[in-house]
Amino acid sequence: MKRIVLLSLLLSLGFAQSTQNKVGLGSPLATFTAKFGAPFRNVGKYLYDYQKCPGRSQLAQWSVTSEDGALATVITHNACPPNKLDASTSDAQAKLFFPSDAVQARTFRTGDGWAAQAFRSETLGRTFPPEFFKSCEGTEPLGTFSYLLSPERAMWMMALGTCL
């Protein structure tokens, strides 16, 4: 409840406005439903799966997590088997979900050794409180988010912070 009140306050002050109608990190969950249709499954409290892969009972083409129950904090796009994702197409597609003010900060390796990229967005930094920008060792600067394409090209993911 506190986070919903905080979000309402931020919106009334003009923060987070650029993410309200765009589907991407920091966007309200309703924008994903408008784009992808109703979720076919909720996993846990705040994970929503959209567009089931054909012939699969559980695999979603799109998954969205909202740590606060209101705004997207993780977006995952899965290739429906047996398909694989093309790297350049995936990068271009993922960038459509980036905040418009995203700037690349650095590359890094995840705990699993996967190559990932960190970006910063002032809009995300104004939209979410500091505790949403985590690294595996502590915290990241406000507005830090990550993007990766899995090595087997089965999915791409973006999330607030860098602890993937």
Among 57-61, 140-144, 151-155, whose mean pLDDT is lowest?
57-61
Given a contact cutoff of 8 angstroms between Cβ atoms, the answer to whether 39 and 33 are in contact is yes
Q: Tell me which residue range forms the domain holding 107.
A: 2-160
Tell me the one-letter amino acid at 126: R
What does the chain come to in residues?
Answer: 164
How far from the centroid of its chain's Cα atoms is residue 124's Cα? 11
Average pLDDT (127-156) is 94
Query: In this predicted structure, what is the pLDDT of residue 68?
Result: 85
Residue 2 main-chain phi, psi, to 5 deg = -60, -40
Residue 142: is its pLDDT beyond 80? yes
Q: Taking a C-beta distance cutoff of 8 angstroms, is the pair 132, 140 a contact?
A: no
> Given a cut of 90, is residue 26 above it in pLDDT?
yes
Confidence of residue 21 (pLDDT cuts 50, 70, 90): low
Q: Quote the DSSP letter at residue 71.
A: B
pLDDT given for residue 38 in this prediction? 94
pLDDT tens string 52-100? 999 887 889 999 999 888 899 999 999 999 999 999 999 999 999 999 9
Query: Encoding tokens for residue 121?
Result: 């967005």
pLDDT (mean) for 115-142: 94
pLDDT score at 102: 97
**Cβ contact 157:138 at 8 Å:** no
The proportion of the chain whose per-residue pLDDT surpasses 90, expressed as a percent, equals 73
Which contiguous run of DSSP H or E holds residue 116? strand 115-120
Of residues 85 and 138, the one with the higher pLDDT is 85
- Structural domain total, the chain: 1
**H helices of the chain, where?**
2-12, 29-36, 87-95, 122-127
Compute the distance between CA of residue 64 and CA of residue 25 in angstroms, rounded to an integer: 9
Q: What is the mean pLDDT of the chain?
A: 86
Residue 13 pLDDT exceeds 70: no
Closest to 158 (Cα-Cα) out of 108, 111, 119, 113:
119
